[in-house]
Amino acid sequence: MSKLLLLVLSVVGAHACYWNTGCHYQLFGSKTPYDTVRGDLRDHESLPNCAAVSVWTMNRHGNRNPGTSVTAGMHEMALLKDDIIRSYISGNSKLCAQDIENFKKWTWNTTLELTQSYLTGTGYEELYDIGKRLREKYPHLGQGTAEEFYFRPTNEQRTIVSCDAFVHGFTDGTILNVTVDEPRQRDDVVRPYENCDRYQENVKGGQALAYQLDTYFLSAPYVAIQNAVQQRLGVQKNLTAANIFAIYELCRFYRSWSYNLLSPWCSAFTDEDLLVLEYYDDVRHYHRNGYGSWVNEHLGRLPIKDLYENFAAVVRGNGRKLVSYFTHDTMVEMVLCALGLYREDTPLNSLTMDPDRVWRTSHIGAFSANIIAVLNSCQESDGQNYRVQIFINEKVTPICPPEGCTWKEFKDKFQQYANASLDFCNMDYVHETGNDPSTNSASPVRGFWSW
């Protein structure tokens, strides 16, 4: 065999190893780090002859620890570490030597069982940086009385600390003194789905969602991954479908906490495997939070009503400079549905993965995902006018053009949300009133950026 062929083979073999792959797969569904997919408010040109007078934001909490059940599954698989190493030594593994070396260095974070679902340091930095960029983009908004600023999280540690981080970033280096409203046990603006019987019974606890998740783990692509990982790791334990996904959780959580976004547990998968695994969150969120049910769209109307009312108050001369809510991916995605964004031509299902889908949680439901609306006061040829810009994850959207919606255009699009309520959540609402809200949905906007 020639030296050139040996060199080629060695290069091919090296590139098959996770540790030195040139470009690692970046998208991990709802556990994607914000910096992987975000834009930057500071890069958008300010509107000519305009000044921002009010900003409204809805923010998902930042990077967090896994919840109770996920932590348990991850810990069970973490105990396989020594078996994976022994499998390599005995020649049964298909992993590379350096990947095994990285397994030897890896340790389980024993605090996870004590801080389940808590915001991480990475998550704090994500929200701090968003607040900081907002301050740098609109420095004049940082001047005013405490009453002109409003911040409210849900009653979870991860949103409460996310709110603190955002406020810290927005006020750091200034004399602005603001207070954060106490989280509410019942909050129909940032968590209305908790108080909606129709959602809890028919959507979150419904059979449609359960069917999609069950069939995903039985699908041919997932079963193929299950078999491939079994061979790749070479362990004696028969890995179940749940075991494989727990290893994926180890991969995507631990990589998000690493400064170089790498985890030895990701070596269990190829990029093609990760593409299939990413799809799980898309299907799950589509049916639980998205267009899988009309209920989700109508729940998303409640925060938009708040947005419209806040901007209308500013136009009347008595609104706030900044209103920010801190919530969960469920709420952010419901608002996107209410706005008619990312609607698929064909509903997502667990057995058919469309590579060109626009409902993709890696991009729209990542950690710290957000919706930012900016009300600008403008001096135009016909006098003073107001223009509204809307950003998603600090990127422009099709809801308003880059030059912003005029106030009339904004009212025409958003006044429909002013009557939003939770009346439809009553299981007998349609029967008693004859009003079927499932026939009244926002017009679709399929997508506005390329993946």
* Segment 90-145, tens digit of pLDDT: 999 999 999 999 999 999 999 999 999 999 999 999 999 999 999 999 999 998 89
According to the model, what pLDDT value does residue 439 have? 55
Distance (Å, whole) CA 351 – CA 131: 40
CA distance 438 to 441: 7
pLDDT beyond 90 at 233: yes
Structure tokens at 275: 């593409």
Whole-number Å distance between alpha carbons of 383 and 64: 48
Q: What is the pLDDT of residue 76?
A: 98
Is the pLDDT confidence value at 287 over 70?
yes
**pLDDT above 90 (res 173):** no
How far does the chain reach from its first CA to its final CA, in angstroms? Answer: 42
- Rounded Cα distance, 23 and 104, in Å: 23
As a whole number, mean pLDDT of residues 377-403 equals 92
Whether 281 sits among the annotated catalytic residues: the reply is: no
Catalytic-residue membership of 43: no
Q: Mean pLDDT of all residues in the chain?
A: 91
Residues above pLDDT 70, as percent of the chain: 91
Compute the average pLDDT of residues 158-175.
91
| Best CA proximity match to 99, nearest among 4, 13, 190 | 13
- The length of the chain in residues reads 451
- Residues 195-219: tens digit of each pLDDT: 999 999 999 999 999 999 999 999 9
Indicate the pLDDT class of residue 382, thresholds 50, 70 and 90: confident
pLDDT at residue 284, as a whole number: 98
At 394-420, the pLDDT tens digits run: 999 989 988 999 999 999 999 999 999
Residue among 35, 61, 197, 306 flagged as catalytic: 61
Identify the structural domains of the chain with CATH numbers, from first to last: 25-439 (3.40.50.1240)
The secondary structure of residue 328, as a DSSP letter, is -
Confidence band, pLDDT 50/70/90 cuts, at residue 6: very low
Of the residues 129, 164, 187, 329, only one is catalytic, namely 329
Please state the pTM of the whole predicted model: 0.92
Question: What CA–CA distance (Å, rounded) separates 63 from 159?
Answer: 10
**pLDDT at residue 7 above 50?**
no
364: which 2 tokens? 């729209």
